[in-house]
Amino acid sequence: MPLTAQQSKQLEDLLYNESDVAYKRRVRTMLAYLDLAPGHAVLDCGTGMGFYSLCMTELFGSLRVWGVDRDTHALAFARSALAGRPVLLSEADILRLPYADGSFDRVLMTEVLEHLDDDAAGLHEVYRVLRPGGVLAVTVPAARYSAWYDPINRIAEALTGRPIRRGPFAGIWANHQRLYEPAQLQQALTQAGFECAPIEPLTHYCFPATQTLVYTVGKGLIERGLLP
């Protein structure tokens, strides 16, 4: 369901300082797709620094939001950013979620699945904690990414058959176990029990090496307190 005009304005205010236009598009799309309503119980699966939880509680009022992540540094940041909001954060493994069956109306899992050692097991856990008729919104990095987006890894894959997964040149592959073709994502979802809606690309044209500059270099400097 599309966001209301007021919600769209609130979201644009929250996204004002975000430099990654592809990320902005992803946030807008995921929040609309979830079709949130007051009273919904929502799991932010792989919550990171808590931006999606911040947006959900800002735009949709009386939600009940739970967030899980294994990154203690990110969770500490999220706890500070979300102080006073109805969000319960936990350090937990997605492969062993600490919730009863059917606990949530909605689950958000954006740019998380590719990090899991066992993505099938992760999706089965999410299916377990989602109520019948609930909605999962999931995004993953595309295997067919543009060479303009991450030219370094495109060259590395062409020359060696292997991507760069660690270090300052990891780009789109940074700490990822895999990237996904649309058919691979659809198969993983259906095998876990989900009814899969049509998969939509969420790319955006950008300057060359945006992934490397914004995420690998810029995000790393921000997380280390070297940039504001």
Q: What is the set of active-site residues? A: 111
Burial class of residue 3 (count of CB atoms within 10 Å of its CB; 0-12, 13-18, 19+): middle
What is the C-alpha to C-alpha distance for residues 48 and 71, in angstroms, rounded to an integer?
Answer: 7
| Cβ-count burial 46-65 (b if 16+ within 10 Å, e if not) | bbbbbbbbbbbbebbeebbb
166 token code pair: 């660690």
In eight-state DSSP terms, residue 48 is T
Residue 105 near residue 35, CB atoms below 8 Å: no
To 5 degrees, how large is the angle CA 148–CA 151–CA 155? 140
The two beta strands, 64-69 and 87-91, are parallel
* Cβ atoms within 10 Å of 118's Cβ, excluding its own: 12
Residue 108 near residue 77, CB atoms below 8 Å: no
Residue 57 near residue 86, CB atoms below 8 Å: yes
47 token code pair: 């919550």
